[in-house]
């Protein structure tokens, strides 16, 4: 009986190559891992994450409640790290392909949160639910003030190689200036021991969106003579706008959206 069924499956899969049968072919091949949410009508969490990463879904507020588990597994499992590694590897290939002028103006811009440093220990707390709960500014700032965010390993690896290649590193963050001391301490303890500039949000930036603020700061860098050859961030607002750089690299972040 089993053999007959096996034969039947093989037979159908070999004969039905026509386009009209493709859904029937895909269904039995659908991988189970990463398919969380497929039973919930309307939300497939992998599709949701892909749409978020490609900026098809924008201005979303929280992770859909039915995807909390999926996002948690993604972030804590191997896939998030591998996705970051793939972005960093592509960035490194590009970075080392360029011939730098070496006049101290070959710049590479990195965002900080969820790019250089990871706030995953905070987001993994039950009350934060990997972004499936409303953002709590008070508790997030309490976490930031601890200054114990670990590095994103892929970014730290890229950072070290960029320094070796002679790039000037600029960290451009939406964190506020009053967090400078703890942020610099956290960065150094995490392995980011030097930089050209570490730019934080000033009081006169408070009305700006992240996209406008980062555009403004990058434009100032270009006016100061820097060539922004590369730019890496976890938000689209890090890599869209003015003077984004010759190439941009997007790290995954399915936990929150910043316009
Ligand atoms: C936000 O965090 C603060 C500090 O941890 C806590 O006291 C407060 O209850 C939280 N607010 C919500 C709405 O969960
Ligand atoms: C970077 O972009 C600028 C402006 O488009 C261009 O002039 C320059 O040649 C580019 N540099 C590299 C290394 O691609
Ligand atoms: Mg960020």
Q: Whose CA is nearest to atom 5 of ligand 1?
A: 139
Ligand 2 centroid–CA 14 distance in Å is 50
Residue 22 corresponds to which tokens in the numbers above? 């493709």
pTM assigned to the model: 0.86
What whole-number distance in Å separates Cα of residue 243 and Cα of residue 109? 11
Q: Domains along the chain?
A: 39-250 (3.40.50.1000)
Q: Give the Å distances, CA to CA, from 188 to 113, 117, 151, 159.
A: 15, 11, 10, 13
Q: Whose CA is nearest to atom 2 of ligand 2?
A: 246
What whole-number distance in Å separates Cα of residue 165 and Cα of residue 174? 27
pLDDT tens for each residue of 152-199: 999 999 999 999 999 999 999 999 999 999 999 999 999 999 999 999
Q: Is the CB of 136 under 6 A from ligand 2?
A: no
pLDDT tens for each residue of 211-244: 999 999 999 999 999 999 999 999 999 999 999 9
pLDDT at res. 41: 63
pLDDT at 1 over 50: no
What whole-number distance in Å separates Cα of residue 238 and Cα of residue 57? 16
pLDDT at res. 39: 52
Tally of CA atoms within 13 A in the half-sphere of 92 that contains its CB: 16
């Amino acid at each position: 009986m089993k053999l007959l069924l096996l034969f039947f499956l093989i037979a159908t899969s070999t004969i039905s190559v026509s386009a009209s049968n493709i859904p029937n072919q895909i269904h039995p091949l659908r991988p189970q891992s990463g398919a969380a949410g497929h039973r919930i009508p309307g939300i497939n969490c992998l599709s949701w994450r892909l749409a978020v990463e490609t900026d098809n879904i924008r201005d979303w507020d929280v992770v859909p409640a039915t995807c909390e588990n999926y996002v948690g597994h993604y972030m804590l499992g191997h896939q998030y790290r591998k996705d970051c590694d793939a972005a960093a590897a592509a960035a490194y290939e590009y970075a080392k392909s360029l011939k730098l002028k070496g006049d101290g103006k070959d710049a590479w811009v990195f965002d900080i949160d969820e790019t250089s440093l990871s706030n995953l220990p905070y987001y993994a707390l039950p009350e934060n639910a990997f972004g499936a709960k409303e953002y709590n500014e008070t508790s997030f700032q309490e976490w930031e003030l601890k200054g114990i965010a670990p590095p994103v390993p892929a970014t730290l690896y890229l950072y070290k190689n960029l320094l070796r290649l002679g790039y000037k590193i600029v960290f451009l963050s939406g964190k506020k200036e009053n967090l400078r001391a703890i942020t610099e301490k956290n960065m150094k303890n995490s392995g980011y021991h030097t930089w050209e500039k570490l730019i934080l949000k000033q009081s006169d930036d408070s009305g700006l969106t992240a996209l406008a603020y980062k555009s403004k700061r990058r434009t100032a860098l270009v006016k100061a003579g820097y060539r922004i050859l590369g730019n890496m961030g976890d938000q689209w607002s890090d890599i869209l706008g003015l003077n984004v750089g010759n190439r941009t690299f997007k790290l995954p972040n399915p936990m929150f959206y910043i316009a």
